[in-house]
A and B are shown apart, each in its own frame.
Chain A
Amino acid sequence: MSTLTDAANKVPLMFRAQVEGRCQVQRLIPKALEQDAERWADEWVDKAYPDAPNFGKDVQTRPYALSWRFITNSGQDDGVIRPVIGARGWPFYPGSSMKGVFRQAAHQLERAGELKLGTCDRYCGEKLENNDFRPGILRFHGGYPTDTRWTQNLVDIVHPQQQWQVKSNDKEGGAFIQISLYKPELIVGISSTTPLDDLEWEQIWHIWETALSLGLGCRVSAGYGQPQQRSGDILYRTRLKGQGQAAKLVDGTGEFRPNVFRAAIRGHALRIFGGLTNADQAEGLVQDLFGGIRGGATVGLLSMAFLDTQLELDDFGQGSYSQPTYTVEGELLWRLTRDLPQPQRQALTKLIEALTRFAMVFGGFGKSWRRADHRLVYPDYYDQGYKPLIGCHWEWLGKRSQVRDVRVRKLEKVGDFIAEVRQAAKEWMQLQTRTPQLDTHANWREAWHPDKVQVWGRETDGLEDCEAVRWLHGPYREAIPSVGIPEGSIYRSSITGQMGNVGRLWHRMYPKVRLVKDPENPKKPMPLVTRQYFELVTVFPDDSVESEQLLGFLNGQQTLFKKLWPMPRH
């Protein structure tokens, strides 16, 4: 028998000890030539059959495209989330999971009176009084991708960073890897033990599609497993366009990850609630809304999907500063994941609208969301050659969003708008029997409380008429030695932040969209996108000298910016 040389190193990663030196799929090693996860995925794809498995001929099937990534945890490898591998080595959405969400949806539709009572039991089985069980008539066969596109972009990097973004500079975790499918189209199968007519099949697919609208697989509240169709109980939807820095996949290519919306808005929810009550209650409220892992995994009330209608990935910058970038347009949807009494439903709708608008007014989404896009507001910056890509830029897209979602049409409206957001949060809290406490706040860097944060703003003539961007890269005030005024600067201070240290200043250019009369339909207002922008600077002061001096400068030594929040008491 011939012996294999170097046999141990030819063993596929799946069959190796999951320890350092042999295989660590979940671990991201910075600057490694090849990540274990990439090799793991290649080995998997390489051995999978080229054609998809087929369902039997008595199985009814339908295909569904998903809007972004999809993950079902196999549960077989501790420490890494990777798909279930089914027939022919293809990723598989298990029938048992399918049945679970189907049953849930059927129950929900029964309670809502849309389905005849007992339908769910007929389809999915029921427990009988004598502890026996009567099986349902339906068989759920699970789902497979419809073609080999699933083999692309399997390696997915996840960065847990809420702690770091909102609360303090302690980083949790870092990056880890999971294996998920990128924008797959899945075909799912259902069969029945008794023949059913077409009408009944329609009803069955309707139940399934209700289930589907909440997302399939795991991490659905983070935007995974969301269908590319506008169904389900949609609380709020709006259209956006934006540009900024794309997330980097392990191989260095860019990906626009729709979970940036959820991350940003979840973060803002924490800030707003953190300004109305203590840390513990704020976290509880946010967990109820968006899901989380505090005290056991919870599915949130809200699930998010972003359906892109246009997406381009590109690169910006030279040499080691080269970064993947995106420009994207699409529709952002927030769905309700379970029934709520009407007053709560209304309050939640108001809240998620308010939080999304808040994110749009004061920041952006994704990497570098605290800064205005330097390519637009400070193009000279890049004339110097080797400079990092900074900031992002987002705008409301389309008439409907520009009419409904723009709440700040005048600079003076910013204060009212913040009050409106806080009011929406207070109303939601009260319905959750939590009393807002105006004199407490969470002890976080960015809790949104009048004692913790100030918003300053001005109206500008265009994107390049941008003042505060210069404060980030040089002095905001020249020294006047004759009267003993030293140079003022927050450059490289705790205010602007540095690598590994989140700053205390947000800088945003928010487009001014006016409402004018539509000449063809004078009763209806029409949005008019102007050349002007509101330049907004949000500061979370700390007790540093730079912070004190900046506030002194804003309050007394300049006239461009007005203080917008907290508003002076009347």
Chain B
Amino acid sequence: MGWQAYGLDREAQWLVLQALDIDNDKDIKGDACLRESYKMRESVAYGLERFWGEHMRHQGKQEKKSRYWKATWDILANILGPADVTLPNDSDPKAMAQKLWGEIPVDSSGKMLTLEDQRLALAVLTQLCDCLVWWTQRYK
């Protein structure tokens, strides 16, 4: 297997720039979201499910924040793809929990998220959030 540059830092920069754009878009309801990266970095300590759930919690109330969290999750899933970890992306919290905690397959392929996958995903998410914080400090 050859060298794979996952480009975490670049993805993080893109996310932060997106967040800036979202904040500048007056049509989207909700509070400023740029600084959510600090919350993201904190919530990593509580694991994947908690992190994923934050975009659901903001839905309908703070749409801007919700989008930022979801975009970060999607990017994480993209990054993990080449590493052969399939991150679930379900809109139902109960199903999502079962997939994330390795109880049911993540998708129709029948693949399960193993404990190793969970740890790997969390490690990458931590790194990604560190990058987000770094870029946030640059742009704010």
Chain A residues in the interface with B (C-beta under 8 A): 1, 3, 6-8, 11, 14-22, 76, 78-79
Contact = CB atoms under 8 A, between A and B. Distances in A.
Nearest to B53: A17
Interface stretch (B7-15, B22-30, B44-52, B74-82): B44-52
Interface string B37-70: 0010011001101101110110000000000000
A19 B54 CA distance: 8
Nearest to B50: A15
Contact of B39 (A11, A20, A78): A78
21 contacts: A6-B103, A7-B103, A8-B103, A11-B49, A11-B97, A11-B101, A14-B50, A15-B49, A15-B50, A16-B53, A17-B50, A17-B57, A17-B96, A19-B57, A19-B93, A22-B53, A22-B97, A76-B42, A76-B43, A78-B57, A79-B57
B105 interface: no
B91 to A, nearest CB: 11
A17 B52 CA distance: 7
A226 B127 CA distance: 42
Closest 5 pairs between A and B when the two form their complex, measured CB to CB: A17-B53, A8-B97, A7-B101, A19-B56, A8-B101
A8 B46 contact: no
B102 A21 contact: no
A18 B69 CA distance: 14
Contacts of A14: 46, 50
A135 to B, nearest CB: 24
A15 B46 contact: yes
A475 B98 CA distance: 62
A468 to B, nearest CB: 47
A21 B57 CA distance: 12
A17 B93 contact: yes
Nearest to B61: A79
B117 to A, nearest CB: 13
Contacts of A17: 49-50, 52-54, 56-57, 93, 96-97
Contacts of A79: 57
Q: What bracket does the count of chain B residues touching chain A fall in?
A: 20 to 34
Interface of B: 39, 42-43, 46-47, 49-50, 52-54, 56-57, 93-94, 96-98, 100-103, 115
Contacts of B103: 6-8
B89 to A, nearest CB: 13
Contacts of B43: 76
A16 B98 contact: no
A21 B101 contact: no
Nearest to B48: A15
The secondary-structure label for the interface of chain A is loop
A18 B54 contact: yes
A21 B93 contact: yes
B109 to A, nearest CB: 19
Nearest to B95: A8
A14 B45 CA distance: 10
A255 B46 CA distance: 33
Contacts of B57: 17-19, 78-79
A293 to B, nearest CB: 16
A16 B42 contact: no
Nearest to A6: B103
A15 B94 contact: no
Contact of A15 (B39, B47, B96, B115): B47
Contacts of B102: 3, 7
Q: Which of A11, A14, A15 has the most CB of B within 10 A?
A: A15
Given A7-B102, A8-B103, A18 B97 contact: no
A78 B57 CA distance: 9
Q: Which of B98, B103, B115 has the most CB of A within 10 A?
A: B103
Contact of A22 (B42, B46, B94, B115): B94
A79 B46 CA distance: 16
B103 to A, nearest CB: 5
A6 B103 CA distance: 7
Given A6-B103, A17-B49, A17-B54, 15 more contacts: A8-B94, A8-B97, A8-B98, A8-B100, A14-B46, A16-B97, A17-B53, A17-B56, A17-B57, A17-B96, A19-B53, A22-B97, A76-B43, A78-B39, A78-B57
A50 to B, nearest CB: 24
B106 to A, nearest CB: 13
Contacts of A11: 49, 97, 101
Contacts of B54: 17-18
Contacts of A7: 98, 101-103
Nearest to B97: A8
A18 B46 CA distance: 11
A217 to B, nearest CB: 20
A4 to B, nearest CB: 8
A176 to B, nearest CB: 15
Nearest to A20: B93
Contacts of B100: 8
B53 A18 contact: yes
Contacts of B53: 16-19, 22
Contacts of A19: 53, 56-57, 93
A76 B41 CA distance: 11
Nearest to B112: A3
A193 B98 CA distance: 52
Contacts of B39: 78
A19 B61 CA distance: 13
Contacts of B98: 7-8
A38 B75 CA distance: 35
B139 to A, nearest CB: 22
Contacts of B52: 17
A16 B50 contact: yes
Nearest to A74: B42
Given A17-B96, A78-B57, A22 B49 contact: yes
